[in-house]
Amino acid sequence: MDPSSLNDLHQASRLNDPDASRSVAEPVISISGLDKVYAGGFHALKAVDLSIRRGEIFALLGPNGAGKTTLISVVCGLVNPSGGEVRVDGFDNVRDYRQARALIGLVPQELTNEAFETVWNTVSFSRGLFGKSPDPAHIERVLKSLALWDKRNNRLITLSGGMKRRVLIAKALSHEPRILFLDEPTAGVDVELRRDMWDVVRQLRDSGVTIILTTHYIEEAEEMADRIGVINGGQIVLVEEKAALMRKLGSKQLTLHLHAPLAEVPVALADYDLQLAADGSELIYTYDGTRDGDEGSSITALLGDLDAAGIAFKDLHTRQSSLEDIFVDLVKERT
């Protein structure tokens, strides 16, 4: 893949971007009181309020069935809302649907199969559908950035699943959106392609495109996002800067495997947050892993005090609480 070419092309479109003068602080998407009750009576979104900042990568994280796809679908106009309001760059997504939708590119969760179209035609079609004049040079750059250029004359039916997903991304980028929705973009995508895909996403972000991705993989949100929103049972449980979220909930643990088991934590070490585990053969030290400067010194101090207390260990390892832990905690709290 060649993400740099994509960057160039979005840099170009940014220069004459009429929205550039709008306040950066003003959210690019603001959702308020959004409700969705499906025809069967299922309450899929419950009074969702959410603001997406201009130019960020926002990860919407939640288990299967949480309402991620429903939320995206309402914003993009695929599902009728039951209540509430969505504004895209100030435009109401129902009343001013033309202006609102023109800004948005959507990569759906499910692969679609227009089997007999060629890659080039299907991507060019998308551009036309979004009301843009033909621009073969742009389509070429998009296809090259997604490593699809060699396949441009292939019919979709001849492509692998990973390539098909890239075609869907190319279709979404064909009309130069300012906001890109990626619904579970890496589901069923191999590791290498996933990495390449993230490169492209970061390049897009660097060129000023706002990106909203959904995932139920915590690592993905952790790796990619600037901010993370957690959704569960149709409700937004929390929205945080990723770094702040990690700081707030992200303690670290140092586990020491002792030579000789201890019956209890020695009084000399009472100042440290220590616990015994595995019948006293493991000593677990919990500390704030995000105060970077202190981390090393507090561990050094602990190790010194252990030595002084005559406690020897044969091995040690650290572990950071992942979003997975945080998420499990949050969901547990709710239920």
Ligand X SMILES: Nc1ncnc2c1ncn2[C@@H]1O[C@H](COP(=O)(O)OP(=O)(O)O)[C@@H](O)[C@H]1O
- Tell me which of other proteins, Mg ion, ligand X, none is bound by residue 215, counting a contact when its beta carbon lies within the kind-specific cut-off of 5 to 8 angstroms: none
97 is a site residue for other proteins (CB under 8 A): yes
* Near Mg ion in 60-79, by CB under 5 A: 68-69
Provide, rounded to whole angstroms, the least separation between the CB of residue 287 and other proteins. 47
d(CA 157, CA 27): 40
Site membership for other proteins, residue 158 (CB under 8 A): no
d(CA 9, CA 326): 39
Q: Which of 131, 161, 261, 304 binds other proteins (CB under 8 A)?
A: 131
Q: Is-contact 139 122, C-beta < 8 A?
A: no
Site string for other proteins, 40-79 (x = CB under 8 A): ------------------------------------xxxx
The binding track of 99-118 with respect to Mg ion, each residue x by CB under 5 A or -, is ----------x---------
Annotate 208-258 with three-state secondary structure: CCEEEEEECCHHHHHHHCCEEEEEECCEEEEEEEHHHHHHHHCEEEEEEEE
**Which CB atom, from 36 or from 68, has the smaller least distance to Mg ion?**
68
Q: Which is nearer to other proteins, 125 or 217 (CB)?
A: 125
Secondary structure in 3-state letters for 250-271: CEEEEEEEECCCCCCCCHHHCC
Residue 161 in 3-state DSSP?
Answer: helix
**Contact status, residue 178 vs residue 147, Cβ threshold 8 Å:** no
242: left (phi over 0), alpha (psi -120 to 50) or beta: alpha
Per CB under 8 A, the segment of 98-106, 266-274, 287-295, 321-329 that binds other proteins is 98-106
94 is a contact residue toward other proteins (CB under 8 A): no
Nearest Cα residue to 54 out of 168, 239, 180: 180
Q: Which does 299 bind (CB under 5 to 8 A by kind): Mg ion, ligand X, other proteins, none?
A: none
Mask of contacts with other proteins, 103-122, x by CB under 8 A? -x-x-x-xxxxxxxx---x-
Using CB under 8 A, list all residues that contact other proteins. Answer: 38-39, 76-80, 97-102, 104, 106, 108, 110-117, 121, 125-133, 171
In the complex, the residues that contact Mg ion under the rule CB under 5 A are 68-69, 109
